[in-house]
Chain A
Amino acid sequence: MLARTADNLFWVSRYLERADFLARLIEASRRISALPIAYTAARDEWKSVLMASGADETFFDHFDIADEANVTAFLAFDERNPSSIRNCIEFGRANARAVRTALTTEMWEGINSAWLELKKFETAHREAGRIDREDLIGFLEYVKTTSSLYDGSGYRSMLRNDAYYFSRLGVYVERADNTARVLDVKYHVLLPEQETVGGSVDYFQWSAILRSVSALTAYHWVYRESIKPWNVADLLILRPEMPRSLISCYDNIVRFLDALAAQYGRQGASQRHARNIKRRLEGASTGEIFQSGLHEFVDEFVNENNRLGAEITEQYLIG
Chain B
Amino acid sequence: MTFQKAIEPMTSPCFDEMNGGESVSPSAPRALYDRVARWLENSPPGLLDSRRQQAEMLFRRIGITFAVYGDKEAAERLIPFDIIPRLLGQDEWRRLEAGLIQRVKALNMFLTDVYGAQEIIRAGVVPADLVLRNPAYRPEMQGHRVPHDIWTHIAGIDVIRVDDRDFYALEDNCRTPSGVSYMLENREMMIRLAPDLFADHRVLPVENYPDALLASLRSVAPPHCPGDPNIVVLTPGQFNSAFYEHSFLADKLGVELVEGRDLAVRDDVVYMRTTEGLKRVDVIYRRVDDDFLDPLAFRPDSVLGAAGLMGAYLAGNVTLANAVGAGVADDKAVYTYMPEIIRFYLDEEPKLRNVTTWRCREPDALNYVLDHLSELVVKEVNGSGGYGMLVGPHASKEQIEAFRHKLKAAPEGFIAQPTLSLSTCPTSFPGGVAPRHVDLRPFVLSGAGGVRIVPGGLTRVALKEGSLVVNSSQGGGTKDTWILETDAATR
Contacts and interface: CB of A to CB of B under 8 A. Distances in A.
A275 interface: no
Given A2-B272, A264-B275, A98 B237 contact: yes
Contacts of A6: 275
Contacts, number: 60
Interface stretch (A47-55, A108-116, A297-305): A108-116
Given A94-B238, A98-B238, A319-B262, A3 B273 contact: yes
Given A2-B273, A264-B276, A112 B61 contact: yes
Q: Is the interface of A mostly helix, strand, loop or mixed?
A: helix
Contact of B63 (A1, A100, A260, A266): A100
A5 B259 CA distance: 10
Interface string B229-266: 00000000110000100010011000011110110000
A119 B273 CA distance: 34
A2 B63 contact: no
B13 interface: no
B247 A108 contact: no
A100 B257 CA distance: 10
B275 A317 contact: yes
Q: How large is the interface on B (under 10, 10 to 19, 20 to 34, 35 or more residues)?
A: 20 to 34
Interface string B149-162: 00000000000000
Contacts of A137: none
Contact of B273 (A99, A264, A318): A318
A75 B97 CA distance: 58
B273 A4 contact: yes
Contacts of B277: 319
B259 to A, nearest CB: 7
Contacts of B261: 4
A113 B243 CA distance: 19
A97 interface: yes
Contact of A319 (B63, B238, B275): B275
A292 interface: no
A36 to B, nearest CB: 46
A105 B62 CA distance: 8
Nearest to A315: B275
A286 B274 CA distance: 42
A3 B262 contact: yes
B408 interface: no
Interface in A73-128: 94, 97-101, 105, 108-109, 112-113, 116
B273 A101 contact: no
B61 A1 contact: no
A99 B259 CA distance: 11
Given A1-B256, A100-B63, 15 more contacts: A2-B258, A2-B262, A2-B272, A2-B273, A3-B273, A4-B262, A5-B256, A97-B238, A108-B63, A109-B61, A162-B275, A166-B275, A317-B275, A318-B273, A319-B274
Interface of A: 1-6, 94, 97-101, 105, 108-109, 112-113, 116, 162, 166, 260, 264, 266, 316-319
